[in-house]
Amino acid sequence: MVLKQMVKAGALSSAEYDGLRQEPLGIRFSPRTFLDGYATYFRSELAKDIKDILSREENLKSDGTMYDSYRDGLRIYTSIDAEMQRIAESVMLEHMAKTQEIFFKEWKGLDPWKYRTRSDHEVPLTTREQELQRVIRETERYQVLRERYLGPVLSVLQNEFPDVA
């Protein structure tokens, strides 16, 4: 579009235009997400709080709809220090790399949910497996997949057998 306007204004010939428009722009566009930058966990938790605040009746728009914290031009000010956050995340990544290396050395080839020790206080394997299943079922991913694949089936069953919980 810009090149076409330059031709129109006489700043570029048609031959130059044809040559230039064939060349790649050499740009790599990737839209930013909330995962980019620092304090990603803080920002994701803040987004939940903001959504809750904006959904309150006293904070709705005059037409009764909720403000969109991303699209409505709201400015959110926090007390987080960006430089301190950058330093903290850098130190954390360094520490976690060392911790992960130690973990891999200790647990290589082993299943951390099925380990055996000589301790008198070891949690029984069946208890650990039940706990793992409970934790899995509480995850958002599990809930979403369960609803996607079992939701329709469960609805049919509940309609056919309303007295069964």
Q: What are the DSSP calls for 99-140, one per residue?
A: HHHHHHHHHTT--TTS---S-TTPPPHHHHHHHHHHHHHHSH
* Pairwise CA distance, residues 92 & 104, whole Å: 18
Question: 71-122 pLDDT, tens per residue?
Answer: 998 998 888 888 999 999 999 999 999 999 999 998 888 887 777 777 778 8
Question: 28-70 pLDDT, tens per residue?
Answer: 877 777 667 778 888 888 989 999 999 999 999 999 999 998 8
Token code pair at residue 19: 């040559």
Token code pair at residue 157: 């069953």
pTM for the predicted model, two decimal places: 0.44
Question: 128-138 pLDDT, tens per residue?
Answer: 899 999 999 99
